[in-house]
Structure 1
Amino acid sequence: MTGQNHTAGKPKDAVDDALTRRIRRKRALTRFNLFVESLAPRLLWPAAVVALYVALSWLGVFLLLPFAVRIALLFFLVAGFVVSLWPLRHLRIPSAHAAERRLEAHNALAHQAISVRLDRPARQTPEAMALWQAHQRRMAERLLEIDSGLPKPDLAAVDPYALRAVPVLLLFVAWFYAGPDSASRLADAFAPPAGEGETQVALRFDAWISPPGYTRKAPVYLQADGEEAITGIPEGSVLTVRLSGEGADQPITFTPDSSEEAQAPAEAEQGALANSASFSLSSGGRLEAAGRNWEITVDPDEAPMIAFKGTPKAAANGALELEYTVTDDYGVTRAHAEIAPAGDVDPHAEPVYPLPEFPLNMPGRSSEDHSAFTSRNLTEHPLSGKPVTITLIAEDAAGHVGKSPALEMVLPERTFRNLLAGSVAEQRQIFALDTRRMPEALQYSAAITLRPEETIPDLTQFLLIKSAQTRMALAHDDDSYRDTADYMWDIATGIEDGALSDAERRLREAQDALSEALENGASDAEIARLMQELREAMQQFMSEMAQRMQPSEQMPGDQQTLRQRDLDNLLNQLENLARSGNRDAAQQLLSELQRMMNNLQPPSSTAQQQGGQQNSEMRQQIDKLGELIQEQQRLMNETFDLDQQLQDRERWGDPEPSPGEQAEDGEKAPRDMTAEELREALKQLQEQQQGLAEQLSEMQQKLSELGMPPAEGFDQAGEAMEGAAGALGEGEGSAAVEGQGNALEALRQGAQQMMNSMMAQGQGQQGQGPGGQTGWGNQAGRDPLGRNQGADGLDFGDNVDVPDEITVQRAREILDAIRERLNEQAPLPSEPPYLERLLEPQSQN
């Protein structure tokens, strides 16, 4: 074979066909790529020299150098630029032959596949021509997907150490430094020397206001044109002004509105070509600098506001529970309750203990009314049971303090059912409030030991009291008085609760230690250690509580397990929040845990003697009520799903039959039903709804027999159920859902009314209350964990929201949008299955 000229002697059909035009186009692009690959390395160093010059200009280097040094540097840069252009003399336009070889190499084409189209065999016999044409066809098939690729200049060949990154990085930093003066600074290298022009260095003005960090506001920058009003600046912000260049030595002054004299700057630095000053803004004023003026308005930092939200309460164990609201313009950093004695107070009294400390928790970020809750056991303090004043105090980051009006009340105290324990606690309180009354306390203590065989049958308790008397007689300083008071409190609680008091103290100490660690930002390892101590303390406390209960008071195993599981889940959630960095939420959860444990009390003697068949039957009815509410919720969800599918059928038509996608029982899923089948399914739910109405009627009759007054909510629920059953019989899903929602809400109201009646009758305070929590003393209608029995202790379905009309409409709009997207041609194969899963009804837990 002999190669022929690429343009002469070619048949016209071979020149004009599509393949030949494609080859010519790709060959032209490849020649351009080769030209770029040859040009880019030769332009690298000229571009680097230009970037270096621009960077030095933007950084103001030329203005800072003496004129002679500046000219020398400029000459060096110009010479370097000229020298860097010298390799361009070898620049050539690539040939078509080189482009073809590049195309063949890039597309892995062997045997010079592109030249085959234009070559001819040396011997043009019929056999040779047939063979040659077959070879051309095979090569043409491989040329159908020919690609020119992209330029790939080899910059590493001329810059093996990647020094090209230095001017690029320098240029990037200089652009931010120059700011709006970037264009004017490019000519600084050609500025005349000092004395030959009006100015040598252009005056540069930079000013900004930095708000305090606790405001979480961004800095405010002042524009160079001036004469503008700056408003909304937080109090305590710092105003910084910097002048550089010719004329930078002019004064920078800030005059507050409340004064005619300029404020002295907090920091100042002045030189020939640089001048800076910083001012702390406690009020608005006028800034004057560089011949310009700015009016600055400062918003004062208001003092925080804190107030009681309701009356302080006492938990079952005597812990003080405070609920309050805290607000501030930028947030409160700390808060506490100040507790001081009230009434007739002897100013010369010498108390053993200082006033009790009561730090307050901060409201959560999600709290809409900025309310918070804190529970703390102060029954060990001698002021418990005495009139006190409580003042809430809050402080923000600026140091401003807000106080609530003082509230006077009797500080909750621990109730001692054992008279001997109560007597020891009373003696301790006498001298703990005023050490001068120690002789009086000794007289009381001696009185109860006159006839120990009658008053103190336990020998151990007698010996403990005698040792306490010895300590009381020997006490002479603050430490000995405090040790004696602590010792007597241990005796009193030990007589009352035995080992339970030690477990309770350990639990309280573990809670306080964890709370302090969360507040101080302790490490994850410390949090994990304290959480383990809290778990062990809680386990010991619960074990002691269980041992104190009589066998007849033990709760059923399933309830005991459920309660323990709730506590374990709460502790796990607390640890996860603390270790994930959400310390505020962990602190709130710990406060709730303290509230629960404060309401967990041992059974009283009255609670041990009461209970019986009536409470057992009442519990059964309450369990049935909870099941009825859950069943009504399930039925409403099913009705809502069917009605939603029916609405879709009326709008979009019946779905295409899809065999194989049926429910496990062989019936069709709602999304595969036709409109008629959906109406029939709605009608079939009528019997279930009527059955629930009958169960409600039977339950009302049983409650009446047990002496419970009728609840309005149950009557309303029965009417709503009958209406929903009628709507289901007519296939009206929307009306049925509305009636079922009304019935569900009425059931909850009726349950709450029933629980309130039970609390009013005192049944919640008996040995086995209707909530099934046995022998836990008077807890104001709460279960052993401090939860309201009508809402949290029993599951009345309050955690499920009934969708209102707006929510239903919004859900329909979302489903319609998903279906429209599903009907379109999806760009990704994974999108249709995902959209179909979104349309599937979710199972209800």
Structure 2
Amino acid sequence: MKRTDQTRNLTLWRLRWQIRLTWAGLLAERIVRAFWPVWSILLAVYAGLALGLTERLPQVWFNGLGIAAAVLALGFAVRGLRGLRLPSRAQAMARLDATLPGRPLAALTDTQAIGSGEVWQAHVARMSDRAAKARAPVPDVRLNARDPYALRYTALLLALVALGFGSTGRLAGIAGVGPQGAQALAVGPVWEGWVRPPGYTGKPALYLNDITAEGLELPQGSRVILRFYGEAGALGVDESVSGAPLEQTAAQGAEFTVERHGRIEITGPNGRGWDIGVLRDLPPTIAATATPEREADGRMKLPFTASDDYGVVAGRAQIALDLPEVDRRHGLAAAPEPREPVVLDLPLPFTGSRTEIMETLLDDLSKHPFANLPVQIRLSAEDAPGQSGEAEPLATILPGKRFFDPLAAAVAEARRDILWTAENAVRAAQILRAVTHLPENFIRNERAFLRLRVAIRQLEGAMTPELRDQLSDELWEIALLMEQGDLASALERLKRAQDRLDEAMKNGASESEIAELMQELRDALDNYMRQLAQEADRAPDQQMSDMQGMQMTGDQLQQLLDKLQELMEQGRMAEAQELMEMLRQLMENMQVTQGQGGQGDGQGRMRDLADTLREQQGLSDEAFRDMQEGMDRNMGRQPGSQGEQGQGEQGEGEGEQGRGGQGQGREGAEGGEGQGGERGLADRQRDLRNRLRALGQAEMPGEGSERGQAGRQALDRAGRAMEGAEQALRDGDTPRALDRQAEAMEALREGMREFGEAMAEERRERGGDGPGEQFGEGDPRGQRDPLGRDPSGRNLRGPTEGGPLADGEDPYRRALDLLQELRRRSGDLGRSEDERDYLRRLLDQF
């Protein structure tokens, strides 16, 4: 037993400091819970005084708040003292024991009731080992339940703000409040002073009472505020920093602005003085870091830098015409109409410091009259006080869009001339008429040509400022249309890309423009090669000619383009132009025999419509045959017993011409027992409708005219009828599908008639335009063959125009029937090779 007591006492002695720390933690918890309102009130009072509450509140309010704060603090202090109880050593041991497993401290204080002494000694030893690991717990001073609104944290935050931005010297002003304060003021006057720098500097205000230095450096424009308390006239101020007469009221103090070096001195009892140095606000500086660059799309790119000691708030770029540097020839020889300079806002960073700025002005001035003319660019920056700094004028050519198509460049130049002065309108019209003479040689976009002819007529009339602005916009769109084109033909796109790149190399285009045009050439070449492959698949009997018998693959063409780009990057433009000419000749030789007339003109569109009508007729015939075969099977007759062979030959002939998926749909009709075949026909009807929709989105003859609008409406009706036929085929309703297919064919024929009339009207209109007569000129009777046909193959007039087929059946239907018969016979393997070759040559004409 003696040994057990020694172990217990030794363990408790070793834990004496842990028990004392636990007791101190319990005492801290009780003090915090009892007196937290008291120090919260004291912190709030300190914050109010340090932040100048005595200066902003009337004396009555200040006295009332002071008394209320004192009463509250005293009340909470009394309540805390009455509720405070010191913790006992037993409570400390219980708190420490609760942190240990098995409560070993309580076990050490127990006495043995029963059992052997050896067991008890082992138990005490084990509990002693556990107790040796005891450590004082952290006090729990959380007050969330007692302070649910966190008022203690609010008071602490106010105190920290007052400590950082307030002044402890203001606490002395408490002595001047109330009767006792008045008695204290009788001893001597009191003053207070503040310096408030301008807001844009970002510098904090200064409390002069806390400043012990004799000299101060203040930003220019700082506001000095002095307040005097006590006998009137006891305190005064002398200053030489404002440069203006001082407005001073002895009872209140003075206010003035620091504008120059000098001294501020408070005269009278307890007065002080400071030597003031002024930090001048320097004007901002700005400069262009490079000459303006032209982006590939014609936008101007001008990098610049700007700086200011406190930050730039605004920047502008003023662009004025440099008239002495303009080459006053041709359309620029006349006196220009006055135009205001262009003013652009410079881009500034939204976030971060604006003391040092490196930005780039990016704007599109391609349509402005100053584009591609000598200008002077003046950059200016402004800071918060309103000071401005300007850069040296930058003389340069204002970047604008460059047109590499010769006709587009001529239209853009004519637009520039009429914007220079309205007197150039007649001259611009004459030039445009001259450059559009024999337009079929170089104009690739008929729509742009027609719009240009209208613009020329307007230029020749009376010119007003409103009409001039309208015409400038129209000529700009025409130039873009001629430059970029509305080219549906891959070959035309390829030629246009070659022409633009060749022109860019001759005119010394920028690297970005060369790169863009090079990519355009690559894309056009890829598209053209894909079309060649599709044509070869569609017509295996037609061969693609090569250059001098040399076959070139797509990889070899890409290597040729890579070499061309390498030469241009190295600046070897002469060699690059020779390689470009070789590529041009190669592309001219690599053409498919069929369809060289292009699909972008009105004749190509009409041929596409004719093919669509032919395929719709074939699809309708096949649906009718499927319906007949179903009826024969229901009546017990063998399908194909009557007239099947002739239809089969016709179907075979049509298949030779590559109608999309028709053979597959036919096999589905024969092997699908009705329903499966109808679904195959429905898919083909859907493909045909999609083709018509794509055709309707392209440019058609008579665009914008009444005939052209009527033709598009007819195409829309045909599309809706095809959609109804497709749905009927999917539903297994073949009779209804045949009705909708008939409606589609009738609408297609009507659309072809309207577009043919529109083409004829366009030819008649262009026939009287003088220089432009040969572009799609009319077909005088003297140039037709004895049957009234146009030898050039461009006779698309409808029956209402008095053509050779005006009377009798529909000429378009008759022409399609003849064309279908020619194709059927050309695909007949039983005919001689000479006859089939002749038939193919006939087909090439159509």
Larger radius of gyration: 2
TM-score scaled by structure 1?
0.49
TM-score scaled by structure 2?
0.49
